[in-house]
Amino acid sequence: MDSHTRLSPNILVLLVMALTFIPVTRAQVFAKNGCPTHCGDLTIPYPFGTMEGCYLNKNFYINCTETADSFKAYLAYTDFIVIDITMEGQLQILTTVARDCYSAPRIPVMRVPQIISLSPFSIYNVSNTRNKFTAIGCDTYAYLYGFVGNKSYRAGCMSLCNRFEDLVDGSCSGFGCCQIQIPDGLKTIDVVAYSFNRHVNVSDFNPCSYAFIVEESRFRFSSGYVQYISEDYKFPVSLDWVVSNETCVEAAKNPSNYACHRSECHEPDTGSGYLCKCPDGFYGNPYLPEGCLGIDESKETEYLLSEPSGANAQGNDGSPSDYDSGRQQIILQGR
């Protein structure tokens, strides 16, 4: 019970009351009362929501659109498909691949960039700890252009090889695949792929150069990528989010917008802004007034601090692997 000594008296009273309530499941406190908890397979925790009244503000709007065979969750008013949301300030989106392709049977000759544009005041950042700038090909170099604050930034990655048989899956050391870190606070990302020699010496197995930002833990280099990555293929990119760019102290001054109800405010290491978390010994959704659950260890059951909120799914037949084709230009504006 040591961890409970740090709770406010308010929470302690609620905990005692809660022990008389019925056990609940975690799903019941994901969303606001009467709001969908899912879009296809994607769980949508408040402050995110798919309908007016279900999200905290428009930055957290998820556009859940039904397509012929599934549901697609678009981030706010963008073309980014969302595949994962955590209440700890992370969110995964899908993006297309920059490519530079040369003459080969059935592969169109083209150069297409990957653009991820974030306004300076966006609550979202491209995570510099979880993503890597990646280039793939055997006659390949690629640029990453962007801005860090008001400073322009440019980096490059180069990848060469002679024979398909020599490529090593899982290795990105500049031989078929090159990977480098990206800087903190990078906005307005523009990735462009090039070739040194139009792939003439490697065209039988590698007609294109590819480049993209990708979440490192969800990407493993395969020699198959050198042969071809289809135009509608999308890789996951991991974003950081905060409730707003205010500090906890600033945010608490405005109770009507403050998001941490019966939960604790904290400022993430990734930069300015704040997030909420349940007090020690509780878990659940810290953004809902009734979102934090306690655990009665003696009875091995879970109890809610207050009334459970309703939950109903908005379709459950979508698949996160069901990557949709889309535009390359992706713009996230702060509101």
Of 121 and 181, which has the nearer Cβ to ligand NAG? Answer: 121
Structure tokens at 44: 């949508």
Of 61 and 210, which has the nearer Cβ to ligand NAG? Answer: 61
* Nearest Cα residue to 18 out of 325, 282, 269: 282
Which residue is listed with tokens 């409970």?
A: 4
Q: What's the DSSP call for residue 35? A: S
Is-contact 109 103, C-beta < 8 A? yes
Q: What's the DSSP call for residue 50? A: S
Q: Is 150 in the site for ligand NAG (CB under 6 A)?
A: yes
# residues near ligand NAG by CB under 6 A: 23
Of 63 and 222, which has the nearer Cβ to ligand NAG? Answer: 63
Minimum distance, C-beta of residue 122 to ligand NAG, in the bound complex (Å): 8
Q: From 99-107, 165-173, 220-228, 267-275, give the range in contact with ligand NAG by CB under 6 A.
A: 267-275
Q: Is 114 in the site for ligand NAG (CB under 6 A)?
A: no
CA–centroid distance for 228 within its chain: 25
Contacts of 73 (CB under 8 A, 6+ apart): 39, 40, 42, 44, 50, 62, 63, 64, 65, 81, 82, 83, 318
Binding letters toward ligand NAG, positions 223-242, x by CB under 6 A: -----------------xxx
From residue 232, alpha-carbon distances to 136, 285, 322, 323, 324 in Å are 17, 35, 11, 8, 7
Residues numbered 22 to 41 that lie near ligand NAG (CB under 6 A) are none
From residue 327, alpha-carbon distances to 76, 80, 96, 114 in Å are 16, 9, 8, 9
Minimum distance, C-beta of residue 316 to ligand NAG, in the bound complex (Å): 19
Structure tokens at 167: 């490529």
Residues numbered 50 to 89 that lie near ligand NAG (CB under 6 A) are 63, 65, 74, 77
Minimum distance, C-beta of residue 237 to ligand NAG, in the bound complex (Å): 14
Minimum distance, C-beta of residue 162 to ligand NAG, in the bound complex (Å): 7
Minimum distance, C-beta of residue 105 to ligand NAG, in the bound complex (Å): 20
From residue 181, alpha-carbon distances to 3, 139, 157, 173, 288 in Å are 38, 21, 10, 13, 36
| Buried/exposed 37-65: b ≥16 CB within 10 Å, e otherwise | bbbbbbbbbbbbbbeeebbbeebbbbbbe
Q: What's the DSSP call for residue 49? A: B
Q: Is 270 in the site for ligand NAG (CB under 6 A)?
A: yes
Binder of ligand NAG out of 166, 184, 296, 307 (CB under 6 A): 184
Binder of ligand NAG out of 23, 34, 108, 271 (CB under 6 A): 271
Of 146 and 294, which has the nearer Cβ to ligand NAG? Answer: 146
Q: Is 181 in the site for ligand NAG (CB under 6 A)?
A: no
Residues numbered 186 to 205 that lie near ligand NAG (CB under 6 A) are 196-197, 201
Q: From 32-40, 94-102, 253-261, 268-276, give the range in contact with ligand NAG by CB under 6 A.
A: 268-276
Of 89 and 291, which has the nearer Cβ to ligand NAG? Answer: 89
CA atoms within 13 A on the CB side of 116: 30
Provide the binding-site residues for ligand NAG, judged by CB under 6 A.
63, 65, 74, 77, 121, 123, 125, 149-150, 184-185, 196-197, 201, 240-242, 245, 270-273, 334
